């Protein structure tokens, strides 16, 4: 893993960084899943002694979707604004992936949030959680509540991967074409990771 050596006390931090890298690279369209993770020193200082359950919690639907509404929904296509709000709310930059994606964790166990860009330059924002079987249903209800008949489930935007399950929806809001994606991806250390992502469709 690139970057500085991690102290023994922060092995849990490294494990989560690698797991997130695996999930985020799928959504960002990166070509490798083994290299390209940097964990900043601040993350080790502030999160190294915190349990995995707090860094990447198993979120309940209400908290998960509240985080999506707080950090992703208002700033679609504007990751710098998401970053500013995350930092204002006490989130810590946990991992940098390939230099174009950043994951943020909260010391008090709030849902993890990540921002970045696809290989084609499309900005993304996502909220991540350990698997909670109630989350996929909650996300589906959330999207149909907000868009009604203006949202359509699609599959053509989603890459084929043997180790991840995807759903995607296209919607139009304020004249913009939006793409919402959920990913459920297994990880050997953390179990399944669930991500809910939004970006501008191209």
104 within some domain: yes
Tokens representing 87 are 């930092």
Q: Which residue has the tokens 């979120």?
A: 59
Question: What Rg value do the Cα atoms of the chain yield, rounded?
Answer: 16
Structurally, the chain folds into a number of domains equal to 1
Domain that holds residue 74: 8-200
Q: What is the pLDDT of residues 119-149, one digit of tens each?
A: 677 888 999 999 999 999 999 999 999 998 7
Sequence-separated (6 or more) residues with CB below 8 Å from residue 181: 27, 157, 158, 166, 167, 168, 169, 195, 196, 197, 198, 199
Q: Count the Cβ atoms, other than its own, within 10 Å of residue 71.
A: 25
180 within some domain: yes
2 within some domain: no
20 within some domain: yes
1 within some domain: no
Q: Which residue has the tokens 């991540």?
A: 128
- The DSSP H or E segment spanning 115 is strand 112-117
Average pLDDT over the chain reads: 77
Q: What is the pLDDT of residues 49-84, one digit of tens each?
A: 777 778 889 999 999 999 999 999 999 999 999 999
Highest mean pLDDT among 37-41, 112-116, 152-156: 112-116
Residue 155: what pLDDT?
A: 67
28 within some domain: yes
């Amino acid at each position: 893993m690139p970057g500085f050596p991690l102290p023994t006390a922060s092995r849990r931090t490294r494990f989560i960084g690698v797991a997130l890298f695996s999930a985020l690279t799928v959504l960002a369209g990166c070509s490798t899943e083994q290299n390209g993770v940097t964990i900043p020193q601040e993350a080790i200082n502030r999160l190294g002694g915190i349990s995995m359950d707090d860094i990447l919690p198993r979120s309940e639907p209400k908290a998960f979707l509240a985080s999506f509404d707080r950090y992703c929904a208002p700033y679609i296509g504007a990751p710098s604004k998401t970053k500013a709000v995350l930092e204002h709310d006490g989130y810590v930059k946990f991992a940098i992936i390939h230099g174009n994606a950043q994951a943020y964790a909260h010391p008090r166990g709030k849902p993890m949030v990540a921002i970045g860009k696809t290989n084609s330059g499309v900005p993304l924002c996502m909220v991540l959680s350990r698997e909670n079987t109630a989350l996929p249903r909650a996300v589906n209800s959330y999207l149909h509540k907000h868009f009604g008949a203006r949202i359509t489930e699609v599959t053509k935007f989603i890459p084929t991967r043997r180790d991840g399950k995807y759903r995607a929806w296209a919607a139009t809001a304020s004249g913009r074409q939006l793409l919402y994606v959920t990913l459920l991806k297994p990880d050997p250390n953390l179990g399944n990771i669930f991500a809910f992502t939004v970006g501008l469709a191209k």
